[in-house]
Chain A
């Protein structure tokens, strides 16, 4: 696919100045509207600024304060839990559903669309919907009571031990249909002959999946990984809609903490420092991933 494009002979040709001029337009737009604000955010992270008057440079103080800020550390931990939980569960769930619904049989389209349906709701709507389910007298507790599990009834969103996971379930519920569709597309491009051949050779269902189907899904895995990492790092709206990071910061993520610092308390310098940390994290993930991907491609 992409390798074909790379192998095309490259002819050296002088680029006419007018083309440069045309290229300069989007470049300027990009510079002015993306890079400049981003750079400003970096600058602000070294200052103290409340939106009034001029920003006071404070050097690395914001970052030192971050290191000793327990809420920030909690949010960081939660972000790790979130990335692993959200990524892991939605990929496993999506893959399992895709495998189960891959073979054509009666009504399979109905199942597929039903599972994909949550994806059409915005995260804020998803959050509101799940908040109702999690209410003390909501569907989940009523259901648990009906099947005799009263002891498991909880105030899911008000309990600091369960709040983050309760939000996680809601987010995965929405994401899983999306991942399923990606994998379904991937499975369509696998070669059914290989599967049949290995079945004839006596391979078990697990062996056929692990050694025949899985290697063929590499391309889709790339997409799924990128989508999942990006989605999990930018998670904000569903947490905000369901718990606003509470109770007492137990479901705080870096993004919600940044929003609170920046736009509720107007500690814009401090909030920018958190933004820089989020940026660095995203960069680490993406770069490690890209390095690995290019290595594999070369191999």
Chain B
């Protein structure tokens, strides 16, 4: 071909051009974008739902939206997490993005990156009939900046047939719970499964719950916001309770991920597992009906009942070229039919945020989850969502160390406070 040598040269020249251009024009810290002249009518939905089922579900849901042309971009969750600040800060950001309610969203709102969607929460807006707790969760500085579309609950999961075999009843108080642990252990079975190997954040589940049961949701939120110290007397009481559990936790869990730790539960080599409702996607299909859960036992009856219910949903970018379109898309995603369609297709145990979704067809387990949350006075998210991913790693270090050496608890809490202070101070 005649053009072959030419194209090679052209290629090299192009490379040189790229090199020169990045040499001249690139500024690592610059973020202005002047090339964004894309048609402002097309909406972009940036999604972190990269697992096959949720991804397929959202694709289907977005296909049902016809008012504006919408492009769905699915990004692997770890990349999404890392790139999120860059997305929001770019000159031509995605219009709507998936993410989490709570501190995380408020943090972005405080930087002015999120679109005010308060009008969707009033009058005949799609979120007007959502619960006040959800509204509070989606509010930053008096404005609503988040559209929650589904959430899930946490509980102590177990196999009904296993409890029958061992002759134990579902405990409701702390003493009963410890007694159940003791009985299960006497059968040669590890009472509690917990995969803290490659997913050390699972250890925060017990920490969150014990803090909620001992000190209450108010204190818990303030602690994660840096208003109390991790080596305070209150936290030490929490760790005293945690310490009572250590001998009952399957030591092999230290090598497992949360998914791996489901296997002992499924094969009745472990008795119980404090985890989110997403566990139902990790147990073998034929055991889903045998799976049940109970509320983390009450420790102090005078503390208002609180539960963890991590909430997922969407926010829109403040710099969206088509704010009206973005809000319209959010309204569609928040609508009851869209929520229902998504939850069914995603095969999750997630709960809809819209009270008008017909939940009667959902499984008995999910019904029970809805009840659990309806009975609670306060809702928290989870350690990382109530604080930040960086504070989460300080918890991971402290709690996994504690599980290895419960005797060093005071030293560990002092170290935890020091590293938390560093994170919160920056």
Near B by CB (< 8 A), chain A positions 133-188 give 134-137, 155-158, 160
Tell me, rounded to whole Å, the shortest Cβ–Cβ distance linking A164 to chain B.
Answer: 15
- The distance in angstroms between the C-alpha atoms of A28 and B21, with both chains bound, is 9
Residues of A within 8 A of B218 (CB): none
Interface string of B253-273 (1 = CB under 8 A from A): 011000000000000000000
Tell me, rounded to whole Å, the shortest Cβ–Cβ distance linking B396 to chain A.
Answer: 8
Interface string of B17-40 (1 = CB under 8 A from A): 011111100101101000000000
Q: Is the CB of A28 within 8 A of B16?
A: yes
Q: Which of A29, A53, A136 contacts B89 (CB 8 A)?
A: A53
Q: Is the CB of B400 within 8 A of A246?
A: yes
Q: Is the CB of A44 within 8 A of B85?
A: no
Contacts A54-B29, A158-B254 known; A28 to B23 CB distance under 8 Å?
Answer: yes
- The distance in angstroms between the C-alpha atoms of A247 and B404, with both chains bound, is 10
Q: Is the CB of B21 within 8 A of A155?
A: no
Q: Which of B18, B19, B197 contacts A157 (CB 8 A)?
A: B197
- The distance in angstroms between the C-alpha atoms of A26 and B29, with both chains bound, is 26
Tell me, rounded to whole Å, the shortest Cβ–Cβ distance linking A291 to chain B.
Answer: 32
Near A by CB (< 8 A), chain B positions 366-420 give 389-390, 393, 396-397, 400-401, 404
- The distance in angstroms between the C-alpha atoms of A137 and B26, with both chains bound, is 52
- The distance in angstroms between the C-alpha atoms of A29 and B197, with both chains bound, is 44
- Asked whether any CB of chain B lies closer than 8 Å to the CB of A50, the reply is yes
- Asked whether any CB of chain B lies closer than 8 Å to the CB of A206, the reply is no
- The distance in angstroms between the C-alpha atoms of A135 and B389, with both chains bound, is 27
Tell me, rounded to whole Å, the shortest Cβ–Cβ distance linking B416 to chain A.
Answer: 11
- The distance in angstroms between the C-alpha atoms of A266 and B255, with both chains bound, is 28
Contacts A247-B404, A249-B397, A265-B390 known; A25 to B255 CB distance under 8 Å?
Answer: no
Q: Is the CB of A36 within 8 A of B26?
A: yes
- The distance in angstroms between the C-alpha atoms of A54 and B28, with both chains bound, is 9
Q: Which of B19, B85, B89, B396 contacts A32 (CB 8 A)?
A: B19
Contacts A155-B254, A248-B400 known; A51 to B16 CB distance under 8 Å?
Answer: no
Near B by CB (< 8 A), chain A positions 256-299 give 260, 263-267
Name B86's closest neighbour in chain A (CB-CB).
A51
- Asked whether any CB of chain B lies closer than 8 Å to the CB of A55, the reply is yes
Name A262's closest neighbour in chain B (CB-CB).
B82
Name B89's closest neighbour in chain A (CB-CB).
A52
Q: Is the CB of A55 within 8 A of B29?
A: yes
Q: Is the CB of A266 within 8 A of B85?
A: yes
Residues of A within 8 A of B187 (CB): none
Tell me, rounded to whole Å, the shortest Cβ–Cβ distance linking B15 to chain A.
Answer: 5
Q: Is the CB of A247 within 8 A of B254?
A: yes
Chain A binding surface, main DSSP class? loop
Contacts A51-B86, A247-B254, A265-B390 known; A25 to B12 CB distance under 8 Å?
Answer: yes
- The distance in angstroms between the C-alpha atoms of A134 and B397, with both chains bound, is 21
Q: Is the CB of A40 within 8 A of B252?
A: no
Residues of B within 8 A of A267 (CB): 426
Near B by CB (< 8 A), chain A positions 58-115 give none
Chain B binding surface, main DSSP class? helix
- Asked whether any CB of chain B lies closer than 8 Å to the CB of A226, the reply is no
- The distance in angstroms between the C-alpha atoms of A158 and B194, with both chains bound, is 13
Contacts A40-B28, A155-B251 known; A247 to B19 CB distance under 8 Å?
Answer: no
Name A51's closest neighbour in chain B (CB-CB).
B85
Q: Is the CB of B29 within 8 A of A49?
A: yes
Q: Is the CB of A264 within 8 A of B16?
A: no
Q: Is the CB of A246 within 8 A of B200?
A: yes
Contacts A44-B28, A263-B82 known; A25 to B251 CB distance under 8 Å?
Answer: no
Interface string of A13-50 (1 = CB under 8 A from B): 00000000000111011111100110010011001011
Q: Is the CB of A25 within 8 A of B13?
A: yes
Tell me, rounded to whole Å, the shortest Cβ–Cβ distance linking A236 to chain B.
Answer: 15
Tell me, rounded to whole Å, the shortest Cβ–Cβ distance linking A139 to chain B.
Answer: 14
Q: Is the CB of B28 within 8 A of A52?
A: no
Residues of A within 8 A of B7 (CB): none
Tell me, rounded to whole Å, the shortest Cβ–Cβ distance linking B50 to chain A.
Answer: 17
Q: Which of A29, A47, A50, A55 contacts B16 (CB 8 A)?
A: A29
Q: Which of B13, B23, B85, B251 contacts A52 (CB 8 A)?
A: B85
- The distance in angstroms between the C-alpha atoms of A54 and B21, with both chains bound, is 21
- Asked whether any CB of chain B lies closer than 8 Å to the CB of A126, the reply is no
- The distance in angstroms between the C-alpha atoms of A51 and B90, with both chains bound, is 10
Contacts A44-B28, A51-B85, A248-B401 known; A158 to B18 CB distance under 8 Å?
Answer: no
Residues of A within 8 A of B13 (CB): 25
- The distance in angstroms between the C-alpha atoms of A135 and B89, with both chains bound, is 43
Q: Is the CB of B255 within 8 A of A136?
A: yes
Residues of B within 8 A of A243 (CB): 198
Residues of B within 8 A of A47 (CB): 29
Name A69's closest neighbour in chain B (CB-CB).
B422
Tell me, rounded to whole Å, the shortest Cβ–Cβ distance linking B149 to chain A.
Answer: 26
Q: Is the CB of B19 within 8 A of A28?
A: yes
- Asked whether any CB of chain A lies closer than 8 Å to the CB of B361, the reply is no
Residues on B close to A: CB < 8 A?
12-13, 15-16, 18-23, 26, 28-29, 31, 81-82, 85-86, 88-89, 111, 197-198, 200, 251-252, 254-255, 389-390, 393, 396-397, 400-401, 404, 426
Some 21 contacts from A to B, beta carbons below 8 A apart, are: A25-B13, A25-B15, A29-B15, A30-B19, A32-B26, A43-B28, A44-B28, A51-B86, A52-B85, A52-B111, A136-B252, A137-B252, A157-B255, A244-B198, A246-B396, A246-B400, A247-B400, A247-B401, A248-B401, A264-B393, A265-B389
Residues on A close to B: CB < 8 A?
24-26, 28-33, 36-37, 40, 43-44, 47, 49-55, 134-137, 155-158, 160, 243-244, 246-249, 260, 263-267
Question: Which 3 A-B residue pairs are closest in the complex by CB-CB distance?
Answer: A32-B19, A158-B254, A29-B19
* Given pairs A53-B31, A136-B255, 4 additional interface contacts (CB within 8 A): A28-B23, A52-B88, A158-B255, A265-B393
